[in-house]
Structure 1
Amino acid sequence: MKLGVSLRTSQNLALTPQLQQSIRLLQLSTLEMQQEVEQMLDENPFLEVQEEGAEAEEFGVERADTPISTGDRVLERDEQSRVGEESADNPAAETAEFESGPTDWDGDGTSDLSPNDGEWGGDAPGRGSGQADDDVDAADINSAHISLTDFLHTQAGEFFLSAVERSALDFLIESLNEDGYLEDALEDLALPLARNMDEVDELLHHFQMALNLLHTMEPAGVGARHLAECLQLQLRALQRSEEYDGDMALLDLATQVCAQPLELIARRDIKQLCMATQASADQMREVLLLIARLEPKPGRRFADVDRNIIVPDVIVRPAKRTTGNREFLVRLNPDVMPRLRVHDVYANAMRKSHGGPELQQRLQEARWFIKNIQQRFDTILRVSEAIVERQKDFFIRGEMAMRPLVLREIADELGLHESTISRVTTAKYMDTPHGTFELKYFFGSGLETDSGTSTSSTAVRALIKQLIAAESPQKPLSDSKISDLLKDQGIECARRTVAKYREAMRIAPANLRKSL
């Protein structure tokens, strides 16, 4: 074996903690970013929320490391002496914020304040509203969300049950999914709770009694194991209801239909259903209309709709028309921009006492976090402005005027990597005159036309939706017919492509759209 020394050159990319944080913040959604800000505020004593409506300083990312001016230093010394007088009676209050341990943050070691330390996101409201906890509006309490489990537990309290029976009922209520279905079999629920087979049989008995009771509770259909049982429970509730003034024989027939394979109901196969139930075609049409009015998800109305509210990151509105061309203003949503700043008191105290490297890392971490937050929103704004410029026809005439657009076009225009554009457009939303859309919505492939140009797949989807909305309910358009109509308008779109777009828009096929 021969030993030797050789010299080799190579290139590699090292991601610093600052760059890693910048990439991570860029791909976070608005809710995830707010959670990240909350966590950083709890962990870093140098970071605070600017509560007052002070006017924000004018600065950019490129000035993040600019030293403060002499005038600002004089103001800082005055502020330091004032705070020192106020905290003279309680010197431990100021030092308590420094008890959190340092993180492994490779900063540059500097502790000078920069314009970024003062404030960022000045147009956005602070995290706290200044309202005391006991000053809660009564209307807010009355309109508080009630979950399905809370609603069922309230009903369970009205029954005269033993402790064991109440425990079994509560256990089943907590085992329901958000749609109100009991997905687990009673045996699967009883086995982990029992120590022997005798206890399993006893638990199964209590669970079955509790399930029978659960099936009588509101909303009708709750506790069903599958869709057919859910529909049958709702039909039984109608039979018991004093408010129902319809034909009871029709309810009995509907119960028989729900006992048949659900594929027949989904396909509206009247012939097969009539053969199975010995009913007439007219009766079967009335039964299918009745079943269509039932609720397949009993827990739907208890869903927390506030969780599904989309808060846009960018707002686009028409500008005042000074010329014949339509222009649009693109701005960030101030409600999602956190107002962050470095805590002046702690930063000044550390500068005066020449704090150790651990505190300097904490300060540098706060400064880099503010800078990365600003850079995140700056990038979102730049990408949004480029999208609006490329898709101006959409903002004027709607989705029918959408143009083909790919990520690479925006990346080349802004000098960014395609992966960066992908991160920016994921889980970020834009509020437009035509509704709120994810930024990815404005990107789509193109389909060839007879004129040699291409049209966006989004525009083709909108055209398909328009054709289906205008079809005859008695004779809906098939996918092949829609493909032919698109060809008549100069758009080459195969039948399978039409079916794919239709399914993506959650539109039923022609046989299910046909009116009874």
Structure 2
Amino acid sequence: MKQSLELRVSQQLTMTPQLQQAIRLLQLPAAELNLEIREALESNVMLEAEEEAESAFPNDETAAVDPPAIDPSETTLGSNAADASRLGEDMPIDERWEDPAAGATSFSAPDPARRDSLLDNQAGPEASLRDHLHWQVEMSSLSDRDRQIAEAVIDALDDQGHLTESSEELREALADDEEVELDDIQAVIAVIQHMDPVGVAARDAREALRIQLDALPGDTPCRDVARLAIAEDLSLLGPGQHATLRRRLGIDETVLAGVLSLIQQLDPHPGSGFGETRTEYVIPDCLVHRINGRWEVEVNPDASPRIRVNDYYASLVRRGDTSADNSLLRQHLQEARWLIKSLQSRSDTLQKVAECIVERQQGFLEHGEEAMQPLVLRDVATAIDMHESTVSRITSRKYMRTPQGTLEFKHFFSSHVPTADGGECSATAIRARIRRLVAAEDPARPLSDSRLTEILREEGINVARRTVAKYREVMGIASSTDRKRLV
């Protein structure tokens, strides 16, 4: 093979550390961004937090009530050179301190005295199942020997609260006490099974349900029939098996509905609700207000601290000085100004995207999900002149507080279905219509998927029956056959 030299001209984007930082900050949710900024405040002497600023909207006409937090979903992140370069433009060290980029970010923060980690404010771990049972044993009137047996029983429980060892194995574990009999162990197990939660120390789900049924008052409707149902195959309690269960028990649909309703109130795994947990809090990145008849968007002032360069430490930087201390100060100064610039760019991008979403979804803000308009990332990217991947980053795990509740940005995006008049209807609006129709149906004659499809077409929405079935299943709505059976 003959060797030769060849000259080629090509373009390539170099991902500098500053550029990587700007892109990473784009996709951080409010809680993680807050922690990132506080770590920077602790590690960089050039940064300091400003005082709390007042909200930009003093005359808010709305009072949104936040629902429980939604579990955040992940999104696939793309990349775009043009938007990334916009975020990572170089900033010389000799820039004047009066420059806006060298000052504070446009979004404000809570009082610096509240600069403790957000995670420190979360609820502490709850008591474990074993701790909860040990406490009840200590408060009980059991004898010392019975308490020793109870300790062995509690130690033999799994995470679901089921007993994993037989009475014989428990007796062997208590071999040092020759007076322990199997009847004594069974008696202590029965006591624990009626502690809180009732049904703990059962050997399986069927026994746990039976114990909970036995603990109910004798006049509880359908209790005796529910015991018979549990004695049958538990799989018959699932969807699609109710006809078989009704036939085996010899009962009608009304009694079956009462039985299923009663069993659904029980817990086959009574210990699963215990354990070490952490409460995840959602901090809205944007706030939506209605002011003078217009919907306005504000980047949440409590989402992250407002930071700036410390003028005193910056004044210590001597130009031309090559000492190690001066080089370190210059490095901290450059990092501080890059962080401030990246935060400013993130805030501006977040504001643009939120304003575009609010403008497109005003109907949803005023009338609810049935007024949701179809919207995809490409629509927002085109409107704000950014790449689709940049919009994907800024909307990932971000939340917006609205009069309809605190919702993830992704909630406002949905595909579309053509309407009879040539328009489009969002999938979210179709699901809301299906939910409304099912809620208002005659329980004795529930609407089938075909009938739901016909009603939607009468409203001008051309949707296939299989699409209706898919939306219904996504919302956890049973089929018309099962809905009728459960009435």
Matches within 5 A, 1:365-384: 365-384=335-354
Flag structure 2 segments of 5+ consecutive residues without an equivalent: 56-84, 177-184
Matches within 5 A, 1:270-309: 271-277=243-249, 283-295=255-267, 298=270, 307-309=279-281
Describe the shift of the 1:329–1:496 C-alpha distance in structure 2 as closer, same or farther (beyond 3 A): same
Whether 1:507 aligns to 2:465 is no
Post-superposition offset of 1:464: 0.7
Describe the shift of the 1:25–1:486 C-alpha distance in structure 2 as closer, same or farther (beyond 3 A): same
Output one character per residue of 1:268-318: Cα deviation in whole Å (capped at 9) or x when no partner. Answer: 855533443466766544433322333467468779998254332111122
1:99 corresponds to: none
Whether 1:265 aligns to 2:237 is yes
2:343 and 2:445 mapped to 1: Cα distance? 55
SS in 2 for 1:508: coil
Post-superposition offset of 1:410: 1.1
2:4 and 2:113 mapped to 1: Cα distance? 66
Query: Which of 218, 223, 240 is 1:251 aligned to?
Result: 223
Query: Which of 113, 121, 126 is 2:111 aligned to?
Result: 126
Give the TM-score, by structure 1 length.
0.71
2:363 and 2:254 mapped to 1: Cα distance? 50
2:115 and 2:343 mapped to 1: Cα distance? 24
Whether 1:337 aligns to 2:300 is no
Q: Which moved more, 1:381-390 or 1:363-372?
A: 363-372
| Contact 1:447/1:455 (8 A) holds in 2 | yes
| Contact 1:152/1:218 (8 A) holds in 2 | yes
1:40 corresponds to: 40
2:215 corresponds to: 237
SS in 1 for 2:282: coil
1:399 corresponds to: 369
Whether 1:310 aligns to 2:282 is yes
Query: Percent of pairs identical after alignment?
Result: 40
1:414 and 1:496 mapped to 2: Cα distance? 36
2:175 and 2:205 mapped to 1: Cα distance? 24
Post-superposition offset of 1:329: 1.0
| Contact 2:457/2:463 (8 A) holds in 1 | yes
Describe the shift of the 1:359–1:307 C-alpha distance in structure 2 as closer, same or farther (beyond 3 A): same
Query: Which of 390, 397, 402 is 1:427 aligned to?
Result: 397
2:313 corresponds to: 346
Supply the AA of the counterpart residue of 1:320: N
| Contact 1:27/1:424 (8 A) holds in 2 | yes
Post-superposition offset of 1:345: 3.9
2:61 corresponds to: none
Describe the shift of the 1:217–1:415 C-alpha distance in structure 2 as closer, same or farther (beyond 3 A): same
1:359 corresponds to: 329
Supply the AA of the counterpart residue of 2:210: Q
Post-superposition offset of 1:262: 3.2
2:49 corresponds to: 49
SS in 2 for 1:436: strand
SS in 2 for 1:307: coil
Output one character per residue of 1:211-250: Cα deviation in whole Å (capped at 9) or x when no partner. Answer: 8775443122446676545433422333xxxxx25259x5
Matches within 5 A, 1:132-171: 146-149=126-129, 151-158=132-139, 171=155
Whether 1:449 aligns to 2:416 is no
Supply the AA of the counterpart residue of 2:304: M
Q: CA RMSD in A?
A: 4.2
2:73 corresponds to: none
Post-superposition offset of 1:460: 0.7
1:494 and 1:9 mapped to 2: Cα distance? 52
Give the TM-score, by structure 2 length.
0.74
Output one character per residue of 1:1-58: Cα deviation in whole Å (capped at 9) or x when no partner. Answer: 54443322222221111111111111122222223223333433333333x34799xx
Whether 1:437 aligns to 2:415 is no
Describe the shift of the 1:38–1:147 C-alpha distance in structure 2 as closer, same or farther (beyond 3 A): farther
| Contact 1:410/1:421 (8 A) holds in 2 | yes
Describe the shift of the 1:219–1:361 C-alpha distance in structure 2 as closer, same or farther (beyond 3 A): same
Supply the AA of the counterpart residue of 1:264: L
| Contact 2:226/2:263 (8 A) holds in 1 | yes
SS in 2 for 1:334: coil
Describe the shift of the 1:284–1:491 C-alpha distance in structure 2 as closer, same or farther (beyond 3 A): closer
Describe the shift of the 1:265–1:54 C-alpha distance in structure 2 as closer, same or farther (beyond 3 A): closer
1:350 and 1:152 mapped to 2: Cα distance? 63
2:33 and 2:115 mapped to 1: Cα distance? 22
1:151 and 1:372 mapped to 2: Cα distance? 49
SS in 2 for 1:363: helix
Q: Which has the higher helix share?
A: 1
Describe the shift of the 1:339–1:293 C-alpha distance in structure 2 as closer, same or farther (beyond 3 A): same
SS in 1 for 2:406: strand
Post-superposition offset of 1:382: 0.4
Whether 1:28 aligns to 2:9 is no
Query: Which of 496, 502, 510 is 2:466 aligned to?
Result: 496
| Contact 1:116/1:370 (8 A) holds in 2 | yes
Output one character per residue of 1:74-98: Cα deviation in whole Å (capped at 9) or x when no partner. Answer: xxxxxxxxxxxxxxxxxxxxxxxxx
1:473 corresponds to: 443
1:55 and 1:310 mapped to 2: Cα distance? 21
1:135 corresponds to: none
Describe the shift of the 1:277–1:464 C-alpha distance in structure 2 as closer, same or farther (beyond 3 A): closer
Task: Between the two structures, name the one with larger relative contact order (CA 8 Å, sep ≥ 6).
Answer: 2
SS in 2 for 1:487: helix
Supply the AA of the counterpart residue of 2:113: G
Describe the shift of the 1:306–1:478 C-alpha distance in structure 2 as closer, same or farther (beyond 3 A): farther
Flag structure 1 segments of 5+ consecutive residues without an equivalent: 57-61, 66-105, 132-139, 188-198, 239-243, 322-326
Output one character per residue of 1:298-357: Cα deviation in whole Å (capped at 9) or x when no partner. Answer: 468779998254332111122213xxxxx2111112121322223444333444986343
1:211 and 1:115 mapped to 2: Cα distance? 71
2:192 and 2:404 mapped to 1: Cα distance? 44
Post-superposition offset of 1:267: 3.4
Q: Which moved more, 1:368-377 or 1:159-168?
A: 159-168
1:284 and 1:22 mapped to 2: Cα distance? 60
SS in 1 for 2:279: helix
Output one character per residue of 1:155-195: Cα deviation in whole Å (capped at 9) or x when no partner. Answer: 3544667898677566566x52xxxx259x948xxxxxxxx
Describe the shift of the 1:233–1:42 C-alpha distance in structure 2 as closer, same or farther (beyond 3 A): farther
Q: Which moved more, 1:303-312 or 1:331-340?
A: 303-312
Post-superposition offset of 1:427: 1.2
